[in-house]
Structure 1
Amino acid sequence: MIKNILCFGASQTWGWNPENATRYPFDKRWTGVLQNKLGANYHIIEEGLNGRTTVFDDPFQPGRNGSLILPVLLESHAPLDLVILFLGTNDLKPYIQNSTKDGAKKAALGCIRLIRLIWASQCGPKGNKPDILLLSPPWIIEPKGLMEMVFIDVVDESKELAKHYESVARNFNIHFMDLSQFIKPSPIDGIHMDVHNNKILGEKLALTIQEIYKI
């Protein structure tokens, strides 16, 4: 039986190339690497959108509130065996929360909302709950270019994401991975992954998923 895996995220999942603001080809995105590594027994479903947040509206980019679109996507792609949540970086933008204070904690609370939506949807096999893998985003290094305009004074706050996400994962008994342990953003914009780090992430996730399902 093929395992259906939904990858729900923002620009890192969409495949943002920090060199020229274009999209990486599928085989260079971490989702494509993941599909190639897992093979025909798995179906990787990409749902990445630039600027997406967990639960917050963006006054400059409509439709970025992840909690509003997630139920539709869960129903559309059901049945799902696993949902990978890769969000939170955009939640840290000061104008999103009107403050940088406790931004990581608020992002983690947003993840709780998404987890509850997933469980309530009954989008898993035979109407059951799907598995969830919560990814804590890599740290932001010094933002540059356009990123410098929107990610103001959030470097330290990005380093707080992992502890709050891990606490959420532990309390909800879901799978967790701290990407800051092995992923580094490109120094070009300080936010997004280069091709090499996309490859690392895809390969790491493949090993984790194979361990979960042991196919």
Structure 2
Amino acid sequence: MIVNPSAFTVLCFGDSNTFGQPSEGRGRWPVDVRWTGRLQQILGTEYAIIEEGLGGRTTDLDDPDRDDRNGRKYFQPCLRSHSPLDIVVIMLGNNDLKAKFGREVDAVATALEGYIDNIEGTAWTRAGGVPATLLVSPIHLDADQPAFAEQSSEYDSESVRKSRELGEAIRHVAHKRRALFVDAATVVRAGIDGIHLSRDSHEQLAKLIALEISTMSGRN
């Protein structure tokens, strides 16, 4: 925990790619490898990074196979628990594209608007304002990776196609709601399972987000 009382506080809310699941299998990358840990190291002690990742987390869908993966149900108490906050980084969407949900890209992006509603209505900064929101469009699913067919039974070809369209839909929501936006797929890639970040991608994603946060905070 960063104990600097004036640290710029960043909540990172996401799924298994924020949790740090390796593309090579189960488990979790060490904190100094996963992108949230690298973000802390890059930004330093003038910033406090709070990691809130959970594998299988959806935006606002109930998963019939796992009853605790609806991110929206946890998000508001999460904001209350961690406020005051300066910025909330949200990287969700690919789990919504699982074949069993049959969800369209625009519906995923619209669900993220609900997160902005929660931030505006629940969270606060030390000065009593509203924290900034940074929407991060997730990586593309990659069916060409060697372990995709074995590891990706919940995704189909439509899921892969939609993952490539998700960035523009989320960008539109960010623009509409005056939120910040970055597209992870512009700098990172999936590893051998075609779903989770490759190890080196954690570093690249951390750099992308660090640049956006440091610019926004004025502490760069």
After TM superposition, is the score higher than 0.5? yes
**Separation of aligned partners in 1, 2:125 and 2:111:** 21
| Cα root mean square deviation, aligned | 1.1
In structure 2, the residue matched to 1:165 is: 170
Contact 2:120 2:130 survives alignment (8 Å)? yes
Matches within 5 A, 1:16-27: 16-27=21-32
Match of 2:52, SS state, is: strand
Which 4+ residue blocks in structure 1 deviate beyond 3 angstroms? none
Do residues 209 (structure 1) and 200 (structure 2) align?
no
**Separation of aligned partners in 1, 2:8 and 2:38:** 16
In structure 2, the residue matched to 1:113 is: 114
TM-score (norm 2): 0.92
**Separation of aligned partners in 1, 2:43 and 2:17:** 20
Instruction: Tell me the CA shift for residue 60 of structure 1.
Output: 0.6
Match of 2:32, SS state, is: helix
- Per-residue CA deviations over 1:158-209 (Å, capped at 9, x if unaligned) read 11101110100000001000111111111x1101112100011111211221
Aligned residues: 209
**Separation of aligned partners in 1, 2:25 and 2:171:** 33
**Separation of aligned partners in 2, 1:125 and 1:185:** 37
Contact 2:134 2:181 survives alignment (8 Å)? yes
The one-letter amino acid of 1:139's match is H
TM-score (norm 1): 0.94
5+ residue gaps, structure 1, are none
In structure 2, the residue matched to 1:129 is: 130
In structure 2, the residue matched to 1:197 is: 201
Decide which of 154, 168, 171 is 1:150's aligned counterpart: 154
- Per-residue CA deviations over 1:7-26 (Å, capped at 9, x if unaligned) read 00000000001112110000
Contact 2:85 2:123 survives alignment (8 Å)? no
Decide which of 22, 29, 35 is 2:34's aligned counterpart: 29
The percent of aligned pairs where both chains have the same amino acid is: 36
Instruction: Tell me the CA shift for residue 128 of structure 1.
Output: 2.1
- Per-residue CA deviations over 1:18-41 (Å, capped at 9, x if unaligned) read 112110000000000000000000
